[in-house]
Amino acid sequence: MRLQEKFTLYNAVTKLILIFVLGSIILFSLEKISIHHLDNRLLKKETKLIENLSDSEVDSLLNAQQTFTDYNILKDEFIVLTPLNNKLKVDTIAKFTTGDREIAGDIETYRILTKQFKYEDKYYELNLGTTASGALSIKKSLGMYMLIVLMVSLTVTLITDYAFTRFLLKPFYKIVDQKINKVNDPTAFDYSKIATSTADFVLLDDSINGLMKKLSDLFLLEKQFIANVSHELLTPISILNGRLENMLASEKLSEEHEEKLLASLKTLSRLKAIINSLLLISKIENEQYVKTNQVNIVEEINDIYEELEERIAAKNLTYQSLLHENFVFIGNKALIHTLLMNVINNAVKYTPANGTITLTDEINTDFYRLHITDTGVGMESEILQRVFQRFARGNHDHIGGSGLGLAIANSIAKFHNITVNISSKKDAGTTVSLTFPLANLA
């Protein structure tokens, strides 16, 4: 999850919790305030009623020997006066309850005050009720209104937070994109600073610039060292090779010495091939080649097949070229030939006898892709991760090679903006996919 999304999620969760807590507190407070207001009204009415209670009302109640009940016209208040046994102990403390009462077929919720009192040596219980529906309705309405306001506020603040964090993190993503993701060659690194007022991002930018400067220096030093050493080694190797060949021409040379000289010549030849490969990689990385040739992929593959035809026949391999596109692009013909040769040669080299090598292709509006699939020995995942490293080889020491073939192929591919993908499974074969951008079309 990206940092911006985490910020937004954190803000959303914290605000939802805050809304829940504040909403609960406000709703609880509204209920308490409403009930407290009703209780005060009932206490005032109870005090006024008892103070103004007339003898005629009490006499009428006593003569009827029944409970006195009175509802107002709107039935939102009522009074109930009930005589009590004189022997009962009078509880003069007012008590409040909330309950439902049915009046003329309608059920209403009332807040009820209950109090016992003594009037002229008689004991009575007074029940005063006032409807609580209005307070509950107000509470519900205020609660809904508050919920809507809070949810709208939450939505607005989340959108604002998302936009602000996006604006705030824009320099960070720009640094990552321009100074890490798009950097293929440390020597071509752009050291210009990204505009930002955030000190942390300025520090990150400066740190990346400093790191890339060190990497660029080391990269140039390595390339120069490889080029110089490789070039300087070719001369003594050529001299040794000539001297050994002259020694082999001697008629006085014993068979034992001849075998040793042949082995030495083979070693020198292998060393020369490695040095030439390193020189080739160095020249490619230093962009000492031009890309001005019209390269026809089908023609190059056909030429490579002619070169490898004898080896393919010797291993009785089934070679299938199922290419449907006549793809032509601008590049360096010699380097592309080397790239394809190394990949196809590896397929021939690592495919056991009676195996199959298949070439297929596909094209769309963005790219042309060439697939080279074999039924060879394949590679384990650990080897596949370092397959483009120089001198990296699998567990196939019995098969000749220097471990530079795919390193050269990868350098050539990067030079032409070609993407190389390799999928492989142990003892199940390998597929190498070369993706050519259509921007370089001839």
CA–CA dist 387, 392 (Å, integer): 6
Using one digit for the tens of pLDDT, what is the confidence trace for 104-142? 667 777 888 888 877 777 777 888 888 776 666 666 676
Looking at residue 122, what is its pLDDT?
A: 76
CA–CA dist 200, 179 (Å, integer): 16
Higher pLDDT among residues 109 and 376, named by residue: 376
Same domain, 203 and 226: yes
* Res. 435 pLDDT band, cuts 50 70 90: very high
User: What CATH number does residue 369 fall under?
Assistant: 3.30.565.10
* Res. 432 pLDDT band, cuts 50 70 90: very high
Q: Are 88 and 123 in contact (CB under 8 A)?
A: yes
166 within a domain of the structure (yes/no)? no
Which residue has tokens 């090779």?
A: 241
CB atoms within 10 A of CB 381: 9
pLDDT averaged over the chain? Answer: 78
Same domain, 119 and 229: no
CA–CA dist 9, 285 (Å, integer): 45
Quickly list H helices, 374-418: 381-385, 405-415
CA–CA dist 275, 401 (Å, integer): 13
Looking at residue 134, what is its pLDDT?
A: 63
Same domain, 312 and 396: yes
**Cα 398 from chain centre:** 43
| Cα dist from 242 to 11, 35, 77, 270, 275, whole Å | 77, 112, 124, 15, 17
Using one digit for the tens of pLDDT, what is the confidence trace for 21-72? 877 777 777 777 778 888 888 888 888 877 776 666 666 554 544 455 555 5
Same domain, 305 and 427: yes
What is the number of structural domains in the chain?
3
145-151: which pairs have CB atoms within 8 A and are 24 or more residues apart?
146/23, 146/26, 146/27, 147/23, 150/19, 150/22, 150/23, 151/19
Same domain, 236 and 330: no
* Res. 18 pLDDT band, cuts 50 70 90: confident
Q: Are 45 and 128 in contact (CB under 8 A)?
A: yes
Average pLDDT, integer, range 390-415: 70
192 within a domain of the structure (yes/no)? no
Looking at residue 65, what is its pLDDT?
A: 47
Looking at residue 59, what is its pLDDT?
A: 63
Select from 285, 304, 336 the last residue of a domain.
285
- Reported as half-sphere exposure (CB side, CA atoms, 13 A), residue 70 has a value of 9
Give me the domain span that covers residue 262.
199-285
Looking at residue 217, what is its pLDDT?
A: 78
CB atoms within 10 A of CB 168: 17
186 within a domain of the structure (yes/no)? no
Q: What percent of the chain has pLDDT over 70?
A: 81
Q: What is the pTM (predicted TM-score) of this model?
A: 0.50
Same domain, 316 and 386: yes
Same domain, 114 and 21: yes
Higher pLDDT among residues 219 and 86, named by residue: 219
158 within a domain of the structure (yes/no)? no
51 within a domain of the structure (yes/no)? yes
Same domain, 281 and 298: no
Looking at residue 58, what is its pLDDT?
A: 61
- Three-state secondary structure along 303-325? HHHHHHHHHHHHCCCEEEEECCC
pLDDT above 80 for 395:
no
Higher pLDDT among residues 359 and 10, named by residue: 359
Select from 258, 285, 312 the last residue of a domain.
285
CA–CA dist 279, 269 (Å, integer): 15
Using one digit for the tens of pLDDT, what is the confidence trace for 228-284? 666 667 777 777 777 777 777 777 777 777 788 788 887 777 777 777 777 777 777
CA–CA dist 294, 328 (Å, integer): 6
Average pLDDT, integer, range 153-181: 79
Average pLDDT, integer, range 335-349: 90
* Res. 184 pLDDT band, cuts 50 70 90: low
Same domain, 260 and 328: no
Higher pLDDT among residues 220 and 300, named by residue: 300
319 within a domain of the structure (yes/no)? yes
Looking at residue 399, what is its pLDDT?
A: 59
Instruction: For residue 357, give the 3-state DSSP assignment.
Output: strand
24: tokens are 């609960």
Average pLDDT, integer, range 170-189: 75
182 within a domain of the structure (yes/no)? no
Q: Are 299 and 340 in contact (CB under 8 A)?
A: no
Select from 85, 104, 138 the last residue of a domain.
138
CB atoms within 10 A of CB 204: 18
* Res. 334 pLDDT band, cuts 50 70 90: confident
206 within a domain of the structure (yes/no)? yes
